[in-house]
Amino acid sequence: MLAQNDSKIIDDLLQLIIEGKYKENDRLPSENELAIYYNMPRINVRNALLKLEDMGYIYSKQGKGRFLKPKKHQLELNLTGSKSFTEAMKHAGHDLETQNLGYVKVPYDEKIYSKLQVGQDDEVIKISRLHIVDSQPTALHISYVSKSVFPRIERDGDNIQSMFSYYADQGYTDFSSNKGCVSISFPTSVERALFECAALVPLLVVESDCIEANQNRVLGYTKIIYRSDLFTYVIAED
C-alpha cells in the first residue's frame, strides 16, 4: 500500500503530465531530486515512480532516469454498434491479426450455463481468440457455446477466427443480444503477457450473449477484454 507521501508524488506528477508540462520522452526529475523536494527517503520516491511505470505513464532507461511514455495511437471502438470487432477494425483500415488460442471444455458454472440456457448435463466449450491490431495485442475474446447447439464445435474450435462468421457458417445470420455488462479489471499475469502491458493498466470487460433473432435461440455468451488505454470508446449507434 502506498504511503500518503508516495501518493502525493504520484498525484503531482500525474497532474503535470495531464497539464502537458512534460512532453513525450521528456526526462522526469531524478529520485534524488524528488526526495529532496518532498523531503522523504528515496525508497518512497522509487515506489511512487515504479507505480507510475506499472500504470503505463513512464518508462526507465538504465543509468539515465525515467521518461514520459509516448502516447499510443488510440483505436475507435463503437460499443453499441452492429459491426463485430473484426469488421470494425478492418473497415477502419487497420491491420488485424487474430490468434486462435484454442478451446477447452469448461466445468459447470451456473452463470455461464444460465446465459446459454442449457442444463448441467450439457457440454460447454470455451474458445479464446487474441486480436492484434497494427502489431499491438488489443482485445481478448472468450466465447462459450454449447455442444447441444453446435455439435461439431470441438472439431471446429481450433480454427475459429470470428464467432459471428462461425454462426453464419452454421446457418444463423440474424443476431440480437440481451442487455450486456461492462466492468473494469486489472490484468492477471497471463493477461499481462498476452497484452504486453504492466500490472496497473486497466482492462475494460464487456460481457454479452448472442441470440438468433428469428428463433430466439441463444447461440453463445462472450466476454471481451480490451486493453483500455488503446481505445477511444463510442456509444452511438452505427
| Positive or negative torsion for Cα 36, 38, 41, 47 | negative
Q: Supply the pLDDT for residue 237.
A: 53
Write the pLDDT tens digit of every residue in 57-89: 899 998 899 999 887 777 887 776 667 788 888
Residue predicted with more confidence, 1 or 229:
229
Confidence of residue 105 (pLDDT cuts 50, 70, 90): very high
Percent of the chain residues topping a pLDDT of 90? 68
Confidence of residue 136 (pLDDT cuts 50, 70, 90): very high
Write the pLDDT tens digit of every residue in 214-224: 888 999 999 99
pTM of the full structure = 0.81
What are the structural domains of the chain? 4-68 (1.10.10.10), 75-234 (3.40.1410.10)
Percent of the chain residues topping a pLDDT of 70? 95
